[in-house]
Amino acid sequence: MPSAGRAIPVISCLLAGGFLVAALSLPWLLPAVAGGAAVAACALALSGRRRPGLGRAMLAIGVWLGCGFGGAWTLRGEPSAGLAWILVALFALPLPVIPWLYARTFPDRDQGVQDGDS
């Protein structure tokens, strides 16, 4: 697995370039870029910290966004079902879950939080 020092600039540039290409000419790519950028930003917490369960939390968020965006696209022509999907799947259901995931992966005092600043 690449170190954070290499992964961060490579992934950042891929997402930034991907956004510009998608926004200008490949709009169907935007949900993948949006979901990927959100998960990648959350995953910055992985740089230099020992956090059991954080990887699985990122995976869960990625799956949620994939299902949410996919369902929204599928139901885009359904007035009631489409609105209900985005309100329930993308807003109401994850409201209690994601803060719980954060609290669960918050490092205990003895694990410490290192910011990499020396």
Partner 1 sequence: MIVLLAILGAALALTWWGARRARGEVEYFVAGRRAGVWLVGVAGTATAVSAFTFVGGPALFAAVGAGSLWILLSAPLTGALQCWAVGEPVAVLASRHHVLTVPELLGVRARSRAVRGVAAGVVLLGCVATLAVQARAAAVLGERLLGAPGYAVALVTMLATAAYAAAGGMRASLPAEAVQGGIMAAAAALLAIAAVVVAGGPAAVLTTLHHARPDLLGSFGAVPPARAWAWWMLFCLGTCAQPHYVQKFLFMRELATLRRLPAVLTLALAATLTVWLGLGLAGAAMLADGRLALATTDELTPGVLLLLGPWAVLVAGVAVLAALMSTAASLLNLAAAAVTRDLPAAFRRRPLELAWARGATACTALAATAVALASDRAVAVLGIAGWGFFTAALLPALLLALAWRAATPAGLVAAMVAGGIVDLVLEAARSSLPPGLEPGLAGAAVGVLVLVGVSLLTAAAPAESTP
Nearer of residues 20 and 59 to partner 1, judged by Cβ:
20
HEC-encoded secondary structure of 10-30: HHHHHHHHHHHHHHHCCHHHH
CA distance 10 to 31: 20
Residue 2 near partner 1 by CB under 8 A: no
Q: At what angle do helices 94-105 and 54-74 cross, to 10 degrees?
A: 160
Residues within the interface to partner 1 (CB under 8 A): 4-5, 8-9, 12-13, 15-17, 19-20, 22-24, 27, 30-31, 33-34, 37-38, 41-45, 47, 49, 61, 69, 71-73, 75-80, 82-83, 85-87, 90-91, 94-95, 97-103, 106, 109, 113, 115-117
